[in-house]
Amino acid sequence: DTEVTQTPKHLVMGMTNKKSLKCEQHMGHRAMYWYKQKAKKPPELMFVYSYEKLSINESVPSRFSPECPNSSLLNLHLHALQPEDSALYLCASSLSMGGNGYTFGSGTRLTVV
Amino acid sequence: ILNVEQSPQSLHVQEGDSTNFTCSFPSSNFYALHWYRWETAKSPEALFVMTLNGDEKKKGRISATLNTKEGYSYLYIKGSQPEDSATYLCAFLTGTASKLTFGTGTRLQVTL
């Protein structure tokens, strides 16, 4: 298995909703990442997990809450989002932090209404 | 804030043309430079990871060079094909190897 799988592919949520994005890989990668991409902008790093521990939080608002329950799974819990949080959320993994190229999922297109 | 810049922003070439793009990045605290190809509605796909000054890498018709002293990398596509149409992103990894910062990308369109 050489893929990163993200679910759901599309999500529409209200500002009072709670939802979660899921990311899974079975390549034995020990670093996992969440990126956010707005239209016509480059992907921006949100969080980095290394060996299931949060290594980097790029000053992301607390309405985004990451979780890494095991080495294959990365979640992003969403609560009380704003319309400006609408974006493509990309998950990626790599063998280790700084190790080789990243393998990306195809993303979750999130719309906050 | 790290500045990773790519040029041109977009490019439209005919099938069979050869083309190249530029990625500029900070020349200090360098760890690695990544190149990705991102086709619409798909995942970004890693093309190259380059770490040494003077590195040259090749994958089929695509090649890349790296100059860490002056902070730039070139991506070349020889004999462009319509399936090369995509956004090409470079990304800079700092000395701590923890944070991959992406450039704004070059959008390539290859027509028959």
DSSP sequence for A4-48: EEEE-SEEEE-TT-EEEEEEEE-S---EEEEEEE-TTS--EEEEE
Contact A33, A85 (CB under 8 A): no
pLDDT attached to residue B29:
87
Q: pLDDT digit string (tens) for A7-43?
A: 999 999 999 999 999 999 999 999 999 999 999 899 9
Nearest to A101 among B34, B103, B105 (CB): B34
Q: How many CB pairs under 8 A join A and B?
A: 57
Contacts of A98 in chain B (CB under 8 A): 31-32, 93, 97-98
- A52 Rama sector, left if φ>0, alpha if ψ -120 to 50, beta otherwise: left
Shortest CA gap A101–chain B (Å): 6
Q: Is the pLDDT of residue B1 over 80?
A: no
Q: pLDDT digit string (tens) for B24-48?
A: 999 888 899 999 999 998 999 999 9
pLDDT attached to residue B3:
86
Mean pLDDT over the full length of chain A = 95
Shortest CA gap A41–chain B (Å): 6
Contacts of B105 in chain A (CB under 8 A): 42
Q: Mean pLDDT throughout A63-91?
A: 97
> Does A55 sit within 8 Å of B31, measured CB to CB?
no
Q: Is the pLDDT of residue A6 over 80?
A: yes
Q: Which residue has the tokens 């790519």?
A: B6
**Position A55: which residue type?**
S
Nearest to B98 among A43, A97, A104 (CB): A97
Cα–Cα dist B82/A10, whole Å: 28
Q: pLDDT digit string (tens) for B48-83?
A: 999 999 999 999 999 999 999 999 999 999 999 999
Contacts of B49 in chain A (CB under 8 A): 100-101
> Does B93 sit within 8 Å of A42, measured CB to CB?
no
Q: pLDDT digit string (tens) for A100-112?
A: 899 999 999 999 9
Nearest CA in chain B to A109: B41
% of chain A exceeding 90 in pLDDT: 92
pLDDT attached to residue A47:
97
> Does A42 sit within 8 Å of B103, measured CB to CB?
yes
Q: Is the pLDDT of residue B21 over 90?
A: yes
Top residue of A36, A60, A96, A97 to mutate, by most chain B CBs within 10 Å, is A97
Q: Is the pLDDT of residue B16 over 80?
A: yes
Contact B86, B69 (CB under 8 A): no
